[in-house]
Structure 1
Amino acid sequence: MLRLTFLLLTVLLPGCFLTPGMEMQTDNGMSEIELPTLKNGQLVKEKLPIQSITADLIIQRETAKRQVVSSLPLVSGNRASYRIGPQDRLQITVWEHPELNDPGGERINPDMAGKVVDDNGDLYYPYACTLHVAGKTVPEVREELTRELSKYFKKVKLDIRVLSFQAHRIAVVGEVTTPGIVAMTETPLTVAEAISRAGGATKESDLNNVALARDGKLYRLNVQALYEKGLTAHNLLLQDGDVLNIGDQKDSKVYVMGEVGRQQAIPINKGRMSLSQALAEAYGVDFNTSRPGDIYVLRPGDMQPEIFRLNAESPDAMILAEQFPLQPHDTLFVGTAGVTQWSRVLNQILPGSFTAMMSTAAMMGI
């Protein structure tokens, strides 16, 4: 009976349908199945090339990352000064001419004080009639109003300040203490300042994953690098209509599968996790059952999937693993050695453990 069993195994084992678990067929350097991919605005199905994790790949992707930083939108210098707009409330004080100022002086309700710029960007003032002030700075409006009043009064001296900033606002949403609308004032508003004015980031926030929506485009910002490394490239000046979304780290996980010590979902701490860190968090590669030459990183992307492969048969390949950063939703898969698959097949087909069966065979002299 035992001889018959071995004969059956010899016939059946070549059939891959008996091999338990997952195995990636990558002989041609392409993915085994077709995947949905966004190309030129259209979703298509195609097999993906499997990119080897090498020093060249890491250099190439690090260079591309720096180019993304250099392409972030900037606010030109003239936008840094506050420009008056509709619904702003201005306080205008003309010295030695109290009849032109707000009646009641300091006793007036601040909400009722000053003069409001109308929806067309115009401001009415006695003697000067209607002035178009939208898009102008306070000094520019002061100069224009002084010129108009000088037609009726001698040595006009006046002061203008913004009592209520209503024209230019941004929205801060996501993982901040008090999400909502933040008004832009005379002080230029940066990303870090906007987060601070929204009460600061919550404990669940992912400051490596901050999204800025502007003019129909979405920009990814890494604010954590500003706080930890002093890098200011992502601390952009904001402009009217911007929407700032602070990400949630609960959704930032890496999934580890295959021949590792423990298959699990690993949260990314403050947006940073390398391939080697993920392997260590999963209690390392099981070198008794794994195929170190087949360590894969499967990255779904935003309909832009990628597949990477690390050959870790040489220990120094772990340096590359440490230099290869993972992203949220990456799946790390460690392949199974052929002998392990064969052993598992035997354990599934034969009654009892394969080890016990081999011991019995030895005692029978087979």
Structure 2
Amino acid sequence: MTFKSVLSICVILFFSLILLAQVGDISQKDEDDYRVGPQDLLEIKVFEVPELNITTRVAENGTIALPLLGVVDVEGLTRRGVEEKLAKLLEESYLKNAQVTVFIKEYESRMVSVMGAVKSPGNYKLLGSMTLMQLLSRAGGLTGDMGEKIIVIRTFPGGKTASLSIDLDGLMLRGDPKLNIPLMDNDIVNVPIERTYDVFVFGQVEKPGNIQMSRGTGMTLMKAIAQAGGFTQRARRGSVSVTRTVDGEEKKITVNVKKILRGKQKDFQLEPNDVVFVPESLL
């Protein structure tokens, strides 16, 4: 892993810790902005009329059933909106100056999911307006094995889905506000874990052995040789061999590194578990 990669990871983790420190209980503003929906559990109290106090769950059609009032549609209303609607209905037929208090005991209708390289993956209640950064904070921040992108899978009305790709460095390091997108109900946020694998370099290089590479960035023959300390003086650069296992069978590929160095041939792309051997010059 390069110094730049280590520095980027350290900076991202630092910002994750700052975000995590700022996350406390759900703010009152979030609760006030939340829109009631199916399966939410509401606790309703009417001042000085305990007979009307009830805890009820919102039905799939967005309604609740209450004493005296019967079935009332509350879907899409804020907590304050439900209070005002119930008070108005009670004042029309039963009470003067009705004082109704509504508590949302369980938020079930609007959820987002986060998975991958976060400390606490899972489902989170979408309370009020929530941005991508806020969700990552609630999920405990990023772990050190994240990749370069965040993928947001979004489902639109009618069932159509779309995938949004967010550059992690742009979001966390450069703080690009356009990348801190507001989340929507049923969004799935995936922070891919960066998978690593080995290639092996032996023969006439200064530091033979295994070299770790990530699937995201890939590894070329020249990069692998450079990370192995470069060629020794006795290296035969014109016939470097790469042994690759394909469908259980070994395949040997000979690469003329001299042509790559002269710009006459593209650098050779390595694959997981390739074995590179640099032979000794006969001279």
User: Shorter-chain TM-score: what band?
Assistant: 0.5 to 0.7
Query: How much does 1:154 deviate?
Result: 0.6
1:82 equivalent to 2:34? Answer yes
Query: How much does 1:145 deviate?
Result: 1.4
1:94 equivalent to 2:34? Answer no
Whether the 8 Å CA contact 1:192–1:223 is kept in 2: the answer is no
Which residue pairs with 1:23 in the alignment? none
SS at match of 1:249: coil
**Relative to structure 1, is the Cα distance of residues 294 and 122 closer, same or farther in structure 2, using a 3 angstrom cutoff?**
farther
**Relative to structure 1, is the Cα distance of residues 230 and 239 closer, same or farther in structure 2, using a 3 angstrom cutoff?**
same
Q: What amino acid is the match of 2:63? A: D
Q: Give deviations 1:82-106, integer Å, cap 9, x for gaps.
A: 211111011222223232224xxxx
**Relative to structure 1, is the Cα distance of residues 234 and 144 closer, same or farther in structure 2, using a 3 angstrom cutoff?**
same
**Relative to structure 1, is the Cα distance of residues 138 and 126 closer, same or farther in structure 2, using a 3 angstrom cutoff?**
same
Separation of aligned partners in 2, 1:140 and 1:177: 36
Which residue pairs with 2:112 in the alignment? 170
**Relative to structure 1, is the Cα distance of residues 234 and 147 closer, same or farther in structure 2, using a 3 angstrom cutoff?**
same
Query: How much does 1:202 deviate?
Result: 2.4
**Larger gyration radius, structure 1 or structure 2:** 1
Which residue pairs with 2:12 in the alignment? none
Query: How much does 1:122 deviate?
Result: 0.7
SS at match of 2:177: coil
1:117 to 30, 53, 58: 58
Whether the 8 Å CA contact 2:149–2:166 is kept in 1: the answer is yes
Moved over 3 A (4+): 251-256, 260-269, 277-286, 294-299
SS at match of 1:220: strand
1:146 equivalent to 2:87? Answer yes
**Relative to structure 1, is the Cα distance of residues 284 and 131 closer, same or farther in structure 2, using a 3 angstrom cutoff?**
farther
1:223 to 168, 174, 198: 168
Q: CA RMSD in A?
A: 4.1
TM-score, normalised to structure 1, is 0.47
**Relative to structure 1, is the Cα distance of residues 118 and 283 closer, same or farther in structure 2, using a 3 angstrom cutoff?**
same
**Relative to structure 1, is the Cα distance of residues 100 and 254 closer, same or farther in structure 2, using a 3 angstrom cutoff?**
farther
SS at match of 1:150: helix
SS at match of 1:229: coil
Q: Give deviations 1:268-309, integer Å, cap 9, x for gaps.
A: 59x789x9x9586465699x953342474789xxxxxxxxxx
Which residue pairs with 1:267 in the alignment? 213
Q: Give deviations 1:5-59, integer Å, cap 9, x for gaps.
A: xxxxxxxxxxxxxxxxxxxxxxxxxxxxxxxxxxxxxxxxxxxxxxxxxxxxxxx
Which residue pairs with 2:74 in the alignment? 133
* Structure 2, gaps ≥5 residues long: 1-31, 156-160, 238-257, 272-278
1:183 equivalent to 2:125? Answer yes
Query: How much does 1:131 deviate?
Result: 1.1
Which residue pairs with 1:248 in the alignment? 193
TM-score, normalised to structure 2, is 0.59
**Relative to structure 1, is the Cα distance of residues 155 and 230 closer, same or farther in structure 2, using a 3 angstrom cutoff?**
same
2:177 to 232, 239, 255: 232
Q: What amino acid is the match of 1:116? A: R
Which residue pairs with 1:50 in the alignment? none
Query: How much does 1:174 deviate?
Result: 1.6
Separation of aligned partners in 1, 2:165 and 2:199: 19
Q: What amino acid is the match of 1:237? A: P
The aligned length equals 211
SS at match of 1:140: helix
